[in-house]
Amino acid sequence: MTSRGAAILALGLAALPALPASATAGTGRLVSQWMSRAPAIDGEIAAAEWNEARLVELGNGVSVRIGNDSRTLYLAVLDAGDVELGEDDGLVLLFDDEGGTAPVLDDGSWAGLACHQAAEYGEGMLQIVDAPSGPSSPSITFREYAAGTYCPAQALDDRVSSSSTARPEGVTWEAAIPLDGTSPLRAGAGERFALFLLLYRDGAQAGCLPACSTVDVADFRNLVLASGGCNTGPQGFGSGQTQPDLPLDWSSDLGAGSGEVWVQSAVDGDQFYCGMNVTGGAGASGCVTNVHYLSAEAEALLRLPLALAGQGSVTVRLRANFQSGASGDFLAFGARYEQIPFFSMLLWQTSHGAPGGPGSSVDLDLSLFTNNLPLELTFWHHTTTAGTSDGGFAQIDDVELLCGPSLFADGFESGLTTHCTAALP
């Protein structure tokens, strides 16, 4: 390893103490954006190549762009506060991606018992520095985290593409990191892992995601990888699907009450215990059931981030099935934007069964703001019963996004025993 790589590695390890073998990973949530074309990894963050990526300002003159396609994670970092690429500059990415049950991979367990000899196994720290090319002086290295410590470094120059350069706008860093198993980071479109990113400027932390500090796994930021979404056909919520799942935050939210929230259903069992998919779709569904709530008047939210930057109009088609356990139960579909206090109720349902009848789909026309803020679809289930009150549940499956002019023949207004309103029931 070059002296430059060794210097940054020493800095990184000094700032990052030995992490616990098991913890609860991930704070908050950050949704990547789908990139329809791969950017050139040449050290120039060209707008035409990176305009589809998610832009995050880290402060101190540092910004990061994050995007992905079905096989690769793309990162671009601009350090506007640095004018010279020096030997004490570097980019460090720590990630937790293995051991969990899909689709949530950030399980918080760095529990490997021994170091692997192959870089595609394991999770830990990926380091990028600007070093002379050549097999004896790698600029990209990986150190797996196992048995409570960092393992010896492994070269990744033949697996991960990167470039860094000093430009008039500042020092830039670009990287293309495979997600399909050829590098240590292993995840897919619609899945989630936890990460911690650090940029070093002259030997000091200049910008970090989520924040510069000494960390453990619980401080990492949850990153939801986007899928193509628009005009790619129905996206399933579980096994048996040929399409990648839409990005879903399966950690869900419990807005009120207590108990289990949205989960993946099984495919063959009792529908009142999320044991089977009763939406008419194949494989598993998103499911929540009254029997798993621990208190009455409970509300559970399942959030589906939508990669819709640059779109003018969107129609959402999905399968749903709702069974009321008692008067006052409902299933609602809504949309919300980040950074602004906005929530649009698209449809709420208080009657039993699928919105359009058994095995049918419902269409929701989604109006977009012109500011292209990140948007998510929210499935909101409310129950007035809990615990042993068997009989109520809600399920979602096969979400499809059609962008541009609507091509669906039927709208949800026709023949449905539901209510569409901007107010709650």
Instruction: Using pLDDT thresholds of 50, 70 and 90, give the confidence band for residue 388.
Output: confident
Neighbours of 240 (CB within 10 A): 11
The residue to which tokens 């899909």 are assigned:
102
How much helix, strand and coil, in percent to the nearest 5, is found in the chain? 5, 40, 55
Please give the Cα distance from 232 to 76 (Å, whole number).
27
Q: Which domains does the chain have, with CATH numbers?
A: 3-224 (2.60.40.1190), 249-403 (2.60.120.200)
Question: What digits encode the pLDDT tens for the residues 82-124?
Answer: 989 988 899 999 988 765 555 556 566 666 778 887 877 778 8
pTM of this prediction? 0.75
Residue pLDDT, tens place only, 206-244: 999 999 876 777 788 888 888 776 777 787 776 444 455
Supply the pLDDT for residue 104. Answer: 58
For residue 77, CA distances in Å to 60, 72, 300, 340 come to 13, 16, 36, 26
* Choice between 354 and 149, residue whose per-residue pLDDT is larger: 149
Q: Which residue has the tokens 């997600």?
A: 179
Task: Give the N- to C-terminal CA distance of the chain in Å, as an integer.
Answer: 64
pLDDT score for 101: 53
Asked if the peptide bond before residue 184 counts as cis, ω within 30 degrees of 0, the response is no
**Choice among 28-42, 132-146, 162-176, 217-231 with the minimum mean pLDDT:** 132-146
Kindly provide the b/e burial profile for residues 315-344, where b requires at least 16 CB atoms within 10 angstroms of the residue's own CB.
Answer: bbbbbbbbbbbeeebbbbbbbbbeeeeeee
